[in-house]
Structure 1
């Protein structure tokens, strides 16, 4: 999935994911995080958000994936969505990392 994603074949990477689910293989945080990160880096925040929601539904959210999604939001400047994601992290009991705060500060600096 990672190789497909980095080659720009994100739909194929999703197909591999769907196939693993069909075979009842359990996906973990890095798999969901990869899809969130790759879609976010393409600028497709909607798809990144969908994969993040799937990760939440699986019950395995984590700080690095939240930070990746936050980066995608900030790249296209929907600040309210970035704020809501940060609040959602806190609600889930996830403590933002130093990377999360650096990301926030560096993107906010670019706005002014």
Structure 2
């Protein structure tokens, strides 16, 4: 999974796009309103990640977060496509889904 991935996320009525860089089990990235940092691991075609999403102070986008949130995600990888979903801070009612496409 190492490399640059384009991410499209959906959480309730919110959705957006960003970029995530995966390298040596670490995740770093962001979008116009957030920064991402965390870790991931692969087991065969399965992937598991803990990703902290923080509001980006310099953003010109409306703030949807007032403090960082950690998401616990799991899903699968097939070639250059990965789909993961999960929830923040053990709150199953706040489901987030992410589709990732590997950049070239």
Highest CA radius of gyration, 1 or 2? 1
Per the TM superposition, whether the score is higher than 0.5 is no
Q: Structure 1 length normalisation: TM-score?
A: 0.23
Higher helix share: 1
